Structure 1
Amino acid sequence: MRIITTERIPIKLWLDNIDRETLQQVKNLANFPFTHHHIALMPDAHVGYGMPIGGVAATIGVVIPNAVGVDIGCGVRAVRTSLTSIEPSELKKIVARIRETIPLGFNHHKKPRPAKLMPDLSTAISESSLPVIAREFEKGRYQLGTLGGGNHFIEIQMGNDGHIWLMIHSGSRNIGYRIAGYYNQLAKDFHKSGGLKIDPKWQLDYLPICSTNGSNYFTEMEYCVRFAAANRKEMMSRVCAIIADTDPTATFAPAVDIAHNYASKEHHFGEDVIVHRKGATKAVKDGIGIIPGSQGSNSFIVKGLGAPESFMSCSHGAGRKLGRKQARRQLNLAREIEFLKKRGVIHAIRHKKDLDEAAGAYKDVHEVLENQQDLVEKTVTLSPLAVVKG
């Protein structure tokens, strides 16, 4: 960890190199009048909207929609199987069945999923208290159990514990996107009509948590976190069923499921605060976490060390080193495919447009893990065998 002390509150960084845009965003957060004690930046950090991906910020009395992001509740689910190997020919069949069974990219189910699979509502749906969920609930039934695109993936992995693992990275799909957009606009409107005047270029419009809109955002955001977890659970159930069809002797350990885009009411450094984790994972003492790499690198199951200086957080993955357009311009398609071929990975790189998710677009996940040894402890190393992407 290193510390920058030039701003209103300190910035604590778990990375050596930071680009100018990301540094400016974290400085904006440090000078934001409601942030508490310090800002924490994880080793996978890179630029985002308003707040960097890989940022952790605690606020007093306000919530910042852009500090949670548009894919509310996005996270990772991992399951250890009893299998110790899968033949390459069977692996290809499993991948084909996953692609046939789970809608990928922008695709949704043609029929709505049963309402009982949707998360329970802690409060009644109404236009006044939960306006977005009321509008999007039925559409959400078509989205439940769908992967999405971008950096979302389904991966079959070999663990150094001798077991085959399954891992899914996905979020709250369109329902989370709608909630994020709706409340960020309300935050912009609040900024224009009242509250402290903050440079709009910072993209840190906020809502007082005690206001109706702030309270509603928090309720709908928490629903989104549960929806995203249910989405991953539904997909994992289907993947496990495909594995079981291949080998009826297969059994599955209880899942680990971790969100990395959300806000949470917590207590840190003497204050009740709202901790915004945007591309960051909670890492309480002895808590089990997941740090995925790229489709050409290792992923890790980790144990949290409960470090207070990171607000008990760690990285959510390897983190991008190239933007999407930059990756498509700079990376060599043949070289990226050859790299994955040498590793023996059934991968998802086919065309130049896929290069934004190539291994070369991401930071070295081993270096990312090395930079946070005071935050988490590695327990299982996972190597990719097959990857499905949207």
Structure 2
Amino acid sequence: MSKLKISGKELRAIGYPEGPVISIAMNIMQKQYKHTAKEEVMELLKAVLASPANYLDDAVLALIAKQLMPEEKESEGELSLNQNGIQFNVFGSEHIEQSAMHQMYTAAKLPVAVAGALMPDAHHGYGLPIGGVLATENAVIPYGVGVDIGCRMCLSIYDIDPKELVQRESFFTRELGEATLFGSGAQFKQSEDHEVMDNELFFELPLLKNLHGRAWKQLGSSGSGNHFVEFGVVEVAEKDEVLGVAAGKYVGLLSHSGSRALGANIANYYTKIAISKRRLPQDAKNLAWLNLDEEEGMEYWLAMNLAGDYASACHHVIHNKIAKQLGRRPMKMVENHHNFAWKEKWEGRDVIVHRKGATPAGKDILGIIPGSMTATGYIVKGKGEAASVNSASHGAGRLMSRSKAMQSITHNALKDELKKYGVKLLGGGLDEAPFAYKDINVVMQSQQSLVDVVGSFTPKIVKMDGPSIKPWQKSREVEGE
């Protein structure tokens, strides 16, 4: 029997109202009733529509039924934080700024908070601190996920001698330049093809419908800030069963970027809704949540997951372009993401785990924890440590704010640092200089109980947002004229 396929048009034809209920019904039925005859499924959906109250206790159909029930108005009073917050573990506390600690203490006092942890790369953010992990009960916090929804690392490992990065530097440099676009508003003139753009949520949710065109033009782009695409040297000391790569040195292609304007618009739109529904004290305002059994919460959940799929698609477009130019497939691809919320089990309870600038580190889950544009990063395997809510850091973490970095780091210092490590930088600015980041090795020492290192990645040709000709290079050229 073929798998069940239902369209939004068919649901509207039997009386389903416009809104997230259509997408929710499609997703649930196509997953839970995929081998049931379509006629039976449509009759069942008609029954839920006619009497939603009768299905509120149904394990599968309750989510659809709740969307069809009359709305209940929320209380307009301000919500109070718990006097004593939940206990949470801090890794590398001596290297974490007090403002980030304060943000985590505030998040721990939320009425919906269940468990938490703070990673060693933590620093101040909006809502949850960057590096913050928070498990909640039946609630999702848009700013607990963050603006760049589903931001991720993606590593392709190629059976190519790393010496080629030097011998054919111009080739690899050109491929980075042609594979993607950098800049906050960057868009391609011609859109790439990818199935994520056919997701029906783009046509069912009004917000996403308006974002579809721009998202398509940004598919495969990389954004600005600390996002990058780079070639480097992957080194595996000994074969790990989970990674599955033999000991040796290889060429690696590593990318870091997220969901672009799509994720930012989703985050800001639903944060405003959450703040309007959950009036919290001023210092906790950006921790406002949406319940997953209310319309806006389910709508955000679907949109967040789509943004995550979109972010992954952006990486795959980039990696596929370069693989085609290299004329070979990668031996292994490792991908892990942060700025997301997952449905997980915690001490036997169903919870929502927010990892803002933190990545999953469940038992044997692979990930990449990068350093900086000159510092070696690490391929890791999670240990499944409950003390960190099965999480680890997402990078080295910022040591300086962008403004402080711009004020205190010179172009000559950056030039000397790149030369010292033999790194060719395309784009990039002083705000992303290695000095602006924590020492990745100190961060890794602080989370030895959370992950095992199974390989390393050392950057060699780095592409970021910003001018490809640096001020010191420009000066040298002028002097030579």
Q: Tell me whether the two structures share a fold, i.e. TM-score over 0.5.
A: yes
Give the structure with higher Rg (CA): 2
Other-structure match for 2:226 = 151
8 A contact 2:201–2:208 mirrored in 1:
no
The offset of 1:78, in angstroms, is 0.3
Paired with 1:349 and 1:362, the residues of 2 have a C-alpha distance of 18
Written as runs of structure 1 = structure 2, the 5 A alignment for 1:196-235 is 197-202=279-284, 203-235=286-318
The offset of 1:138, in angstroms, is 2.4
Question: Deviations 1:198-236 (Å, cap 9, x if unpaired)?
Answer: 213322111111110000000000011111001111011
Q: Secondary structure at the match of 2:256?
A: strand
| 2:277 is the counterpart of 1:190 | yes
Other-structure match for 1:112 = 191
**Change over 3 Å in CA distance of 1:33–1:332 after alignment to 2:** same
Question: Deviations 1:71-96 (Å, cap 9, x if unpaired)?
Answer: 00100100110102214252233213
2:283 aligned partner, one-letter code = K
Paired with 2:375 and 2:326, the residues of 1 have a C-alpha distance of 23
Gaps of 5+ in 1: 1-5, 192-196, 245-249
Paired with 2:427 and 2:203, the residues of 1 have a C-alpha distance of 44
Question: Deviations 1:165-210 (Å, cap 9, x if unpaired)?
Answer: 110001001111111111011111212xxxxx42133221111111
| 2:253 is the counterpart of 1:166 | yes
8 A contact 2:191–2:217 mirrored in 1:
yes
Written as runs of structure 1 = structure 2, the 5 A alignment for 1:1-390 is 7-15=84-92, 16-36=94-114, 38-85=115-162, 86-105=164-183, 106-114=185-193, 116-118=194-196, 121=199, 125-127=202-204, 130-161=205-236, 162-191=249-278, 197-202=279-284, 203-244=286-327, 250-348=328-426, 354-390=429-465
Gaps of 5+ in 2: 1-82, 237-248, 466-481
**Change over 3 Å in CA distance of 1:103–1:125 after alignment to 2:** closer
Q: Secondary structure at the match of 2:424?
A: coil
8 A contact 2:103–2:128 mirrored in 1:
yes
Paired with 1:120 and 1:365, the residues of 2 have a C-alpha distance of 39
Question: Deviations 1:238-294 (Å, cap 9, x if unpaired)?
Answer: 1223333xxxxx541231111111001111023211100101111111111110110
2:325 aligned partner, one-letter code = I
1:201 aligned partner, one-letter code = D
The offset of 1:39, in angstroms, is 1.8
Paired with 1:337 and 1:264, the residues of 2 have a C-alpha distance of 41
**Change over 3 Å in CA distance of 1:251–1:64 after alignment to 2:** closer
8 A contact 2:197–2:212 mirrored in 1:
no
8 A contact 1:81–1:165 mirrored in 2:
yes
8 A contact 2:231–2:252 mirrored in 1:
yes
8 A contact 2:127–2:143 mirrored in 1:
yes
Q: Secondary structure at the match of 1:160?
A: strand
Paired with 1:241 and 1:200, the residues of 2 have a C-alpha distance of 51
Calculate percent identity across the aligned residue pairs.
35
TM-score using structure 2 length: 0.73
8 A contact 2:231–2:461 mirrored in 1:
yes
The offset of 1:52, in angstroms, is 0.6
TM-score using structure 1 length: 0.90
**Change over 3 Å in CA distance of 1:230–1:349 after alignment to 2:** closer
Other-structure match for 1:3 = none
| RMSD, aligned CA | 1.7
Paired with 2:415 and 2:295, the residues of 1 have a C-alpha distance of 51
Question: Deviations 1:83-131 (Å, cap 9, x if unpaired)?
Answer: 02214252233213321342111321102222x442553x55445xx23
Paired with 2:463 and 2:203, the residues of 1 have a C-alpha distance of 38
Paired with 2:203 and 2:250, the residues of 1 have a C-alpha distance of 46
**Change over 3 Å in CA distance of 1:340–1:111 after alignment to 2:** same
The alignment of Structure 1 onto Structure 2 pairs a total of residues equal to 367
Paired with 1:149 and 1:216, the residues of 2 have a C-alpha distance of 28
Q: Secondary structure at the match of 1:137?
A: helix
8 A contact 1:207–1:213 mirrored in 2:
yes
**Change over 3 Å in CA distance of 1:125–1:243 after alignment to 2:** closer
The offset of 1:343, in angstroms, is 0.7
8 A contact 1:118–1:144 mirrored in 2:
no
Paired with 1:83 and 1:346, the residues of 2 have a C-alpha distance of 19
The offset of 1:20, in angstroms, is 2.0
2:216 aligned partner, one-letter code = R
Paired with 2:168 and 2:195, the residues of 1 have a C-alpha distance of 30
Paired with 2:282 and 2:190, the residues of 1 have a C-alpha distance of 42
